[in-house]
Structure 1
Amino acid sequence: MSATLATYVALPGNAADAFTHWQEVFGGELDLTRYGDMDLEGMPFTPDPEKVAHAALHTPGGDITGGDAMPGEDAPPLRDTAYSLLYGVDTPDEARTLIQKLVDGGGSVNMPFELAPWGDWYGQAFDRFGVMWAFAASESSGTQTP
């Protein structure tokens, strides 16, 4: 097996909603395992059976994994610009469509999607869960107007 890298997002109890929303926005195949779907023998805590132990969304652009934060642990701060998920697409129009889906789903634009000083298209949006998504498309993929 060759090495792989996937993003992991710990959410504050709403992982099922977030991953379902992300599948609606980005497409792909969603594998979602709740604690109630697992044999919990030997588990050092008693989790809520409805909480997500592990989720994996296999999108055309790559994998997003995550779950609900462990009981007793604070979920990481959301709605922050210290991190983002960068999604590269083929065309500026494809990025605009994905950004609009996030906004229509209760998110907001953080940085308008436009031609950036370095020559590529770039912009950012927060989804309704507070996760920041950055979008990029190369200049050579098209010079559509903003």
Structure 2
Amino acid sequence: MALINPHINFNGNAEEAFHFYKSVFGGEFAQITRFKEMSSPEFPVSEKEANKIMHISLPIGKNFLFANDVPESMGRVNENENRSKISISTESKEEADKLFNGLSSGGQIEMPIEDSPWGSYFGMFRDKYGIEWMIDFDQK
């Protein structure tokens, strides 16, 4: 079966955000590649961009959360745009609470985690990096 692996663009703070995500989900980074590692005459990298993240991945269960910093030459990412949300289905109410409380710390809660009208335990928020998340536990 195919897996869905979200990929997030950041404006230079991908590494900071991913250390935060790692503190919530646990695990170790599968890969961190900086722009300077890809520098060549065909792809010159400025000193200002050299240590920014070209690719980072964090395994979460059988899936990965991916990200990169967008080079300034490509313009800024609108961190408050209406993006698609990252939806996490948990295996327990306790796991849902742990992820909701951890990831929403410092962010904006749009819908507190609680029993929903459609029968699942659900919450929604934008984390402190502007990424939108939905956490859901359905006993069915």
TM-score, structure 2 length as denominator? Answer: 0.84
* Counterpart contact for 2:3–2:63, Cα < 8 Å: no
What CA distance in whole angstroms lies between the structure 2 residues aligned with 1:49 and 1:82? 27
Aligned partner of 2:54 in structure 1 is 53
What CA distance in whole angstroms lies between the structure 2 residues aligned with 1:67 and 1:8? 8
One-letter amino acid matched to 1:127: D
Aligned partner of 2:11 in structure 1 is 12
Provide structure 2 residue ranges, at least 5 long, that are not aligned to the other structure: none
What CA distance in whole angstroms lies between the structure 2 residues aligned with 1:5 and 1:103? 22
Provide structure 1 residue ranges, at least 5 long, that are not aligned to the other structure: 141-146
What CA distance in whole angstroms lies between the structure 2 residues aligned with 1:136 and 1:125? 12
* Counterpart contact for 2:35–2:45, Cα < 8 Å: no
Aligned partner of 2:93 in structure 1 is 92
What CA distance in whole angstroms lies between the structure 2 residues aligned with 1:25 and 1:129? 14
Cα deviation code 1:56-104 (max 9, x no counterpart): 1111262111100133223332234442111111112211111111233
Q: Percent same amino acid among aligned pairs?
A: 25
TM-score, structure 1 length as denominator? Answer: 0.81
Aligned partner of 1:126 in structure 2 is 126
What CA distance in whole angstroms lies between the structure 1 residues aligned with 2:15 and 2:73? 19
Large movers: runs of 4+ above 6 Å: none
Cα deviation code 1:25-57 (max 9, x no counterpart): 1122212111123343421x5241111011111
Aligned partner of 2:20 in structure 1 is 21
